[in-house]
Amino acid sequence: MSGDLEKFIQQLLRNSEELKLVLEAEAVPRPTDSDSSSSSSSSPSSSESETDSDSKVPGAITRLKQRRKDAKINRKRVLAVVAHIDPYGEEQGCVFIFKSHMKASTAGNTIVQHTVEHAFPILSGFTIAMAQAKRNTIDLTSASMETLKQPQSAEFKLTLHPGHDLSQRSIALTTQDSPHLKPFLTEVKRLKDISVVNSEPGATPSYPWILPYTSKSKPSLLSAEPQDLRHVHRQISELLSEASAGSLGDDAFDTSIIREFWIRSQVEQLYNSGSQTSLKLRIGTFNVNGKLPSQDLSAWVRGPSTGANKYIPPLKELSPFSLEGIATDSSGEGTALPFGKQPDISADSNASSVTDLPVAAAFAGKYDDPDLIVLGFQELDLSASALIYSAETTREDAWLTAALAGLGEKAVEYEKLASKQLVGMLMVVLVKRTMKDCFKRIQTNSVGAGIMGLMGNKGAVALRLAFEPRPTRDARHPRGAVLTFVNAHLAAFDEMYEKRNADFHDISRRLVFDAGAPAPGAPSPQAGGAPPNAPLHAFQSDALFWLGDLNYRIELSDSDARALLADDAVDNLPLLLQYDQLNLARRTDKAFANFIEHRILHFPSYRFNSGALSDNLGYDLKRKPAWTDRVLYIPSVAVRVQQQTYQCHKEITMSDHRPVSATFELRVPTVDGEKLDAFAHGLWKEVSHIEDAEDIPRVSVEPAAIDLGKIEYHREAQQSVLVRNTGRVPFAFRFVPLAPGEPICPRWLRVKPVAGLVRPGEHKEIILTTTVDNPVAAKLNVGDPHLEATLVLHVARGNDSFVVVSGDYARTCFATSMQRLVRMPGPMRMTGVRRLLPDEQAATAPKEVMRLISWLMSYGSDVDNLFLAPGDLAQVDEIREALDTGTELPVPDSNSRAALALSVASCLLQLLDALPEPLVPPHLHQACAETTDRESAFELLNGLPGASVNVWISLTSLLHFLCQQDARMPGALRVRRLAARFAPVIFRDESALSKPISPVGKRKFIMHFVS
Amino acid sequence: MSKQFQFKLVLLGESAVGKSSLVLRFVKDQFDDYRESTIGAAFLTQTVALEDGTSVKFEIWDTAGQERYKSSAPMYYRNANCAVVVYDITQSASLEKARSWIRELQRQADPSIIIALCGNKSDLAVRRQVSQEEAKKYAEEEGLMWGETSAKSGEGVNEIFTEIAKKLPKTAPPSARAGGARTGAARTGVDLNKQATATGGQNEPCSC
């Protein structure tokens, strides 16, 4: 019997775990509980409440007996000590408690199944208390005669304590399995001793391998509260276990991840298929510097609807720096925000992004009054006494009155919904009266992060609410959305960048809301999940808005920042924003990872001073201007967020900050909550058992070989592969690399999705996209042009399938080093990859660059906006092709000349920007930027490689010549704009902004040659 | 109380010699007359109980025989403890291919790898092109295990895997499981004569 049991249990474990010992036991029935102490209500025997009404009915006694028999089985537990060797070779142990279930088998008889009910990691605090139970009566019906004969068959009571700060409760069990009890406890002790030796003080060791066993019964997606937004936005590839061809990862763990992503993407489709409820939201943030309201706040509170005339579109939308495809790729980031990761909500999300709509365009139409106005204030009160937490509300009242006054005649339509203050931080939420009943479960909280990490001079106040749209015919109880707003004030001063990041994480960790009573109709938390009353994080929302004086500064010298702001020749905001510390933090995942911020089109909101202590723009001379006041957000599939405005209100001058506002339209899917739950649970049922299914998954991957044909620079080509489920069970698949630690495909290829789940009879299309950007081209240009890669698609519990992808790369002069270009005996594509001229026969400058410059000298010198306006993309491609094949560049006629010239100029800029090393080598950048006169600038040229000097001279001669021409644009202005255009190309920064080199200095260096 | 050891086993050999069929017979005691050729690699496990009370769990990687996938084979025999190189006794060319696999393994695989040469399709002895003597002699020269099998009839299949299991070193378990002094689970392993019956409904499709 015991041997069989061990076999059963072993089969429930993964390969990576070893079953050490098992022990049979019984759960101790609690008086208030039914026999099935787990909450699995699906178990047919657990509904004790029927007993009374049933007992009078004939046949009830038989049923009662049956129920007792079932209850007996329902009490049965199996304890198992399981060991796992972690990647560092350390052994970890866990005590699993398995529950027995009776199941009707297909053959008609009942069989016993075991599922994990509890899992106790054997940590240093884990204990099992044992006591011999006194038995007053001998239960002849349950104990077999054999048991009675054995003298050692005493009953023991075991109490398992999880120890430490684990949220699990203790479990009491009884066992008569005394022969196995001692070895069981010995083994537990051995594993506990290991745990004690390995444990580090203060740190709770993680036991991630246990997760797949316990979390399986409840994906967080199915809980009543929203998922953690940080989790939702993680890429599936970051989460999957490490695996490669021929070495298995953790199939069961991967399956649980893939399944969760799949359910989420299915739910997303449901969201997208139905109607949506729109919610208009206005957010404002204002550091009031201790002042009391003394000005009209209407522009900030109400926005542009107060007289359409007042609205002036923000700065010009298109700047020379946002020209498509130019000068942005190599650094991996565009000048446009949001950069980096778009919210890729699921593994195979193809939802269009609604996040980066140009402000002015969206705004051309009418502006609706907001349904909700969220105003965040900082430094409400600077007096010393305010540092002590006080409940005084006079300042709040003053600002509330001012805000309502700012709404003008609309004020009567609004009322205060909630507010929260912590010392100087205040959040006030106004709601349209007609919408008030749609906002429920309003909660507020605050976190101090100032002096001693607790004082309230810095920190955050926050508000969480549930938006429940009005019922519709299809959705009688719309699920709605949970929205959270955080108004934070982070550490001040330029050099406190790290502290601000730490403040963000500190607030994120400590800002919680009481879970309170679950919402009516919410599914009860299943066994193994978080306890029902665990506090909710700010990130457990459908959308999170984070506003406030975040205090991030510009990582440039004071003089550079001011010079760039004052320069009216060029829109320098995108450049300045590259050096913004908050953007830096987001780019490097130091803080605000996955948050979205709309492109900033306004000037810095800090710090202003009136009078003699300010510069021409009004900025305080003692503080570097900065975008300290910001509004960011994270959406999810349950709330689509479209930002319509993002502005700074310079006309409100009472503080040293200017208030900042943002307007959003939120679209909340009008999905019935119960329908959604039923849908998600239905999906869950369908795929929850795929790890243990008897059938082996069957997959067909077609085609097994793909010829991509010609693979070209900067031209994406797509092909697809179908992953079909030809078997009888759903399966999870993922691509694994051929060799450990490598990517799943070479860099010239993209595979999407990288993992998925396919139900029987269905298929999933995998899109393969070739992408050759500059770093990839730099490698491919010097290698074998025939490209081939083997993709390995691994099906959990099944096969590895191969897809061989091949193609022929068309080499190009783009992303080829200058040293190589001068040694090419002919055009790129006409010359073998290994044929290079000896050094002494090398050209003085790359032919490709010189051909473009001489064309521009001949045909382009009088074209306005040459290099400043973008060329035609198709024409640029044609010109590049001509350079690579050696055919003639197009000769223009009088009609096409200007347009063609812009394209040739774009092509030249791109060619220079694609160079693996910038025209001026990085080690000279600092010296160049510090050059103050023309003579030393010329001297620095001696440090350049020969070919670079020749290109430099030809190029600057061309630019100089352009600025001499009669044109609509004054020469001096043109010089400045061209210098601004070429500086980031010629002095391309590869490294992060650890030690930024003055962009103004770079421009000046170029101007020494051009003007 | 038995000890279990775990080993990685890889199957290599020319296309269509019956590698997948051999594994199917060993793991599931089944045979398909028509099997599609493997594109990639299949992973299966099977446990063999030995007379000394220990048991050996094989993690089997069944690779594709087609030439175009040859470059990926090293990923599968990397870290393998044993390799079964299969040829078809009715195709003398397949023995040549097996020799080249064996040379590759001797050159590139783990030096301690145990290699078994396996002549499959012994039920088709009337069409035999590779004599037992020839193959056996080669195996002896190279220090390989050798046997003939029929995945179709099952003849010799369990024997060759059991022989490998016996030969594998049990002194240092490959997964370096520490403290395995008391391995509680009394695993019965596979009964070589009677298979695929003992799972006891554990894996019945769930009806919930």
Would you list the DSSP string of A542-577?
SEEEEEEE----BSS-HHHHHHHHH--SS--HHHHH
How far, in Å, are A213, A439, A668 from residue A665 at the CA level?
A: 41, 16, 10
CB contact under 8 A, A792 and B40: yes
Which range among A56-65, A324-333, A498-507 has the greatest average pLDDT? A498-507
pLDDT tier for residue A5 given thresholds of 50, 70 and 90: confident
CB contact under 8 A, A247 and B203: no
* Cα separation, A582 vs A660, whole angstroms: 16
Contact list, B180 vs chain A (CB under 8 Å): 18
Burial degree of A58 (CB within 10 A; 0-12, 13-18, 19+) = exposed
Nearest to B188 among A3, A91, A793 (CB): A3
**Which whole number is the average pLDDT over A76-89?**
81
C-alpha A37, offset from chain centre: 38
CB contact under 8 A, A798 and B202: no
Cβ within 8 Å of residue A522, ≥6 positions away:
A224
Contact list, A799 vs chain B (CB under 8 Å): 38, 40-43
Burial degree of B92 (CB within 10 A; 0-12, 13-18, 19+) = middle
In this predicted structure, what is the pLDDT of residue A985?
Answer: 96
* Cα separation, A894 vs A888, whole angstroms: 18
Closest approach of chain A CAs to the CA of B126, in angstroms?
Answer: 34
Backbone dihedral region for residue B200 (phi beyond 0: left; psi -120 to 50: alpha; all else: beta): left
* Residue type for position B105: L
Name the residue in chain A with its Cα closest to that of B69: A802
**Which whole number is the average pLDDT over A49-75?**
57
In this predicted structure, what is the pLDDT of residue A719?
Answer: 95
**Residue B197 contacts A, CB cutoff 8 Å:** no
Backbone angles phi, psi at B200, to 5 degrees: 60, 35
pTM, two decimals, is: 0.74
pLDDT tier for residue A316 given thresholds of 50, 70 and 90: very low
* Cα separation, A828 vs A813, whole angstroms: 6
Instruction: With a cut of 60, say whether residue A774 has pLDDT above it.
Output: yes
Top pLDDT among A335 and A885 is at A885
pLDDT tier for residue B171 given thresholds of 50, 70 and 90: low
* Cα separation, A952 vs A948, whole angstroms: 6
- How do the residues of chain A divide into helix, strand and coil, expressed in percent and rounded to 5? 35, 25, 45
In this predicted structure, what is the pLDDT of residue A516?
Answer: 64
- How many percent of chain B have pLDDT more than 70? 81
Size of interface A-B (CB pairs under 8 A): 136
* Residue type for position A515: A
Report chain B's C-alpha Rg in angstroms: 17
Give the 3-state secondary structure of residue B100. Answer: helix
CATH of the domain at B73: 3.40.50.300
In this predicted structure, what is the pLDDT of residue A164?
Answer: 61
pLDDT tier for residue A278 given thresholds of 50, 70 and 90: very high
Single out the residue of B205, B173, B202, B158 nearest to residue A13, CA to CA: B202
Please check whether residue A962 is in contact with residue A861, taking contact to mean a CB–CB distance below 8 angstroms: yes
* Cα separation, B119 vs B139, whole angstroms: 11
Contact list, A738 vs chain B (CB under 8 Å): 72, 75
Single out the residue of A721, A704, A783 nearest to residue A746, CA to CA: A783
In this predicted structure, what is the pLDDT of residue A994?
Answer: 60
**Residue B39 contacts A, CB cutoff 8 Å:** yes
**Which whole number is the average pLDDT over A405-433?**
94
Per the structure block, which two tokens stand in for A35? 């026999």
Residue B175 lies in a domain: no
B contact test, residue of A88, A800, A801, A803 with most B CBs within 10 A = A800
Residue B146 lies in a domain: yes
CB contact under 8 A, A20 and B208: no
* Cα separation, B115 vs B95, whole angstroms: 14
Per the structure block, which two tokens stand in for A648? 């700074």
- How many percent of chain A have pLDDT more than 70? 79
**Which whole number is the average pLDDT over B177-198?**
32
Least confident of A473-477, A692-696, A791-795, A950-954: A692-696
How far, in Å, are A436, A459, A505, A511, A736 from residue A488 at the CA level?
A: 25, 6, 12, 11, 42
* Cα separation, A490 vs A511, whole angstroms: 14
Per the structure block, which two tokens stand in for A171? 């479990």
**Residue B32 contacts A, CB cutoff 8 Å:** no
**Which whole number is the average pLDDT over A492-497?**
92
Instruction: With a cut of 90, say whether residue A233 has pLDDT above it.
Output: no
In this predicted structure, what is the pLDDT of residue A310?
Answer: 38
* Cα separation, B115 vs B143, whole angstroms: 8
* Residue type for position B136: K
Residue B88 lies in a domain: yes
Residue B31 lies in a domain: yes
**Residue B172 contacts A, CB cutoff 8 Å:** no
* ipTM score: 0.73
Task: Return the residue matching tokens 């290994």.
Answer: A834
Cβ within 8 Å of residue A640, ≥6 positions away:
A276, A354, A666, A667, A668
Give the 3-state secondary structure of residue A709. Answer: strand
pLDDT tier for residue B96 given thresholds of 50, 70 and 90: very high
DSSP code, position A30: P
Q: What is the pLDDT of residues A607-626, one digit of tens each?
A: 998 777 889 899 999 999 99
Instruction: With a cut of 70, say whether residue A919 has pLDDT above it.
Output: yes
Backbone angles phi, psi at A396, to 5 degrees: -60, -45
CB contact under 8 A, B179 and A91: yes
Instruction: With a cut of 50, say whether residue B177 has pLDDT above it.
Output: no
**Residue B77 contacts A, CB cutoff 8 Å:** yes
pLDDT tier for residue A32 given thresholds of 50, 70 and 90: very low
Q: What is the mean pLDDT of chain A?
A: 82
How far, in Å, are A774, B7, B188, B190 from residue B57 at the CA level?
A: 49, 6, 11, 10
**Which whole number is the average pLDDT over A966-978?**
86
Where do the domains of chain A lie, and which CATH numbers do they carry? 3-199 (2.30.29.110), 230-272+677-809 (2.60.40.10), 278-517+535-669 (3.60.10.10), 844-1010 (1.10.555.10)
* Residue type for position B95: L
**Which whole number is the average pLDDT over B110-119?**
95
Q: What is the pLDDT of residues A143-181, one digit of tens each?
A: 444 444 444 457 888 888 887 655 567 888 888 888 888
Top pLDDT among A36 and A952 is at A952
pLDDT tier for residue A682 given thresholds of 50, 70 and 90: confident
Which range among A775-784, B68-77, B172-181 has the greatest average pLDDT? A775-784
Q: What is the pLDDT of residues A793-827, one digit of tens each?
A: 999 888 899 999 999 999 999 999 999 999 999 99
Residue B188 lies in a domain: no
Which range among A32-36, A490-494, A514-518, B196-200 has the greatest average pLDDT? A490-494
**Residue B205 contacts A, CB cutoff 8 Å:** yes
Instruction: With a cut of 70, say whether residue B194 has pLDDT above it.
Output: no
DSSP code, position B149: -
CB contact under 8 A, A11 and B199: yes
Instruction: With a cut of 60, say whether residue A412 has pLDDT above it.
Output: yes
CB contact under 8 A, A801 and B184: no
Which domain covers residue B41, as residue numbers? 3-167
Closest approach of chain A CAs to the CA of B59, in angstroms?
Answer: 10
- Report the number of distinct structural domains present in chain B: 1
* Residue type for position A894: S
Top pLDDT among A727 and A197 is at A727
**Residue B64 contacts A, CB cutoff 8 Å:** yes
Give the 3-state secondary structure of residue A291. Answer: coil
Closest approach of chain B CAs to the CA of A690, in angstroms?
Answer: 10
pLDDT tier for residue B36 given thresholds of 50, 70 and 90: confident
CB contact under 8 A, A22 and B39: no
- Report the 3 state secondary structure along A133-169: CCCCCCCCCCCCHHHHHCCCCCCEEEEEECCCCCCCC
